[in-house]
Amino acid sequence: MCTIPYNSLASYGDIAKKLGNPKAARAVGAANGKNPIPLIIPCHRVVGADGNLTGFAHGLAIKEKLIALEQGLIF
């Protein structure tokens, strides 16, 4: 998650593939959900394979706002 650039998104599957196990998307999601410091380790940048927002410990509305902030849609 730390390697996902600011204003970019990656899917759980993308991360699993980079880790060398393309079938581990659910495990990536589980690990992502245990992130205790989401503003430092930007887990909000991880989305579903279809680009939809999925899971965020602080709620999808907050995830959506963080992504919009990075994209310059919120000032």
* Residues with a known catalytic role: 43
Residue indicated by tokens 């999925």:
54
Element containing residue 47 per DSSP (H, E): strand 46-47
Burial class (CB within 10 angstroms; exposed 0-12, middle 13-18, buried 19+) of 40? exposed
